[in-house]
Amino acid sequence: MTATDPSPSRGRLKVFLGYAAGVGKTFQMLSEAQQLERQGVDVAIGYFEPHSRPDTIALAEGLETIPRRTVEYRGARFEEMDTEAILRRHPQVAVVDELPHTNVPGSPTLKRWEDVHALLDAGIDVITTMNVQHLESLNDQIWQSTGVRVRETIPDWVLKQADEVVMVDLTPRALLNRLARGVVYPPERAKAALDNFFKESTLVALRELAMRQAAYAVESRLPEDEAAQPPPVEGDARPQERLLLLIGPEPASAALIRRGRHMADHLRAECLAVYVSRAPGFRDLTPEEQEHLERHFNFARGLLIETRVLEGSNVAQTVVDFARLHGVTQIFVTREKTGGLRAWFGQALVQQIVNYARDMQVTVVADRSIRPTAS
């Protein structure tokens, strides 16, 4: 009779974070893989996207590459990372490019980060890459500043759980020079890139976001007594921050959830999302509105936000009573943007919450579901 092996400890996740394609994330990832290989570490490439860049392709030479899995979809064949093959091979370190990638329909998982978590759960270390604009909480901010809605996103907690985040930096001017030389994209794609993310002002803003995110990743891993804290005041017992998001079926609730998650992460605060139903069984909503509300609840849960449904005829009083009972310090709401009676009611609701919640901070989050145009 042989003793069973204990379950493997969870693997470590290292993320090379950039602000745009071409800054060198994959190059740095493969450079580290080569260094680990020279040190005798068992390394295998689970997925690598070369983008026809010779210097990057050269760095993959000599490293074992696990063959991809073919998925058929709508009469076409696509290649995806073969997570099961990697698990069977079980290297010490797996190299996985493009963490936010969405898998082809028909794949066992929806997102590549879910595949990466399967590898980590099996005790395999993973080194991977991503750009800052793929963080879910920044989605509205990126759209406002660039005019491009990023469709492939990952929950912020995925990056937050990484054991190490390394920013791969390159000045915007140097990146634009690489683009002009054809290093990043071929000429036809380079022109399209210049019309979207690759404007110098946009790259500067994205680079600043990436720097802030990398700095936050470092700070969040410091012990409480080492992290930057305001100097204590004698006799001051500050409560732990707890945020409450008042959501509804309206599209603006998605932006509210992103904003709340982003603020909660930076404040190291707990976060709740609530809806107040004026009638039992959601009879105050149409079937379509119920579907939209459930979608918002699922979105919030995916970002690790606790959700609750409250009942009460006085929405403002119900929200504030619940908030006070649960130690909430900040309430986030949106203002109804439609015209007529609903707009008036929305403004009145916000004012009522402000009046009731004298001991809490109330933040009205701007509705950015329509991007402003230049006059």
Tens-digit pLDDT profile for residues 214-254:
877 766 665 544 444 444 444 444 458 899 999 999 988 99
330-352 mean pLDDT: 67
Phi, psi of 96 (to 5 degrees): -130, 110
Query: DSSP letter string over 197-266?
Result: T-SHHHHHHHHHHHHHHHHHHHHTTS-TTTS--PPP-TT--PPPPEEEEE--SSTHHHHHHHHHHHHHHH
Angstrom distance (rounded) from CA 158 to CA 173: 30
355 versus 191: the higher-pLDDT residue is 355
Interval 12-34: pLDDT, tens: 999 999 999 899 999 999 999 99
- The answer to whether 318 touches 311, Cβ cutoff 8 Å, is yes
Annotation: CATH topology of 242-365: Rossmann fold (3.40.50)
Angstrom distance (rounded) from CA 43 to CA 154: 25
Question: What is the domain partition of the chain in residue ranges?
Answer: 13-219, 242-365
Angstrom distance (rounded) from CA 133 to CA 131: 6
198 versus 237: the higher-pLDDT residue is 198
13-219 and 242-365 have identical folds: yes
How would you class 153 by CB atoms within 10 Å of its CB: exposed for 0-12, middle for 13-18, buried for 19 or more? buried
Identify the pLDDT of residue 148: 80
What pTM did the predictor assign?
0.72
CATH of domain 13-219: 3.40.50.300
The encoded tokens of residue 65 equal 């590459």
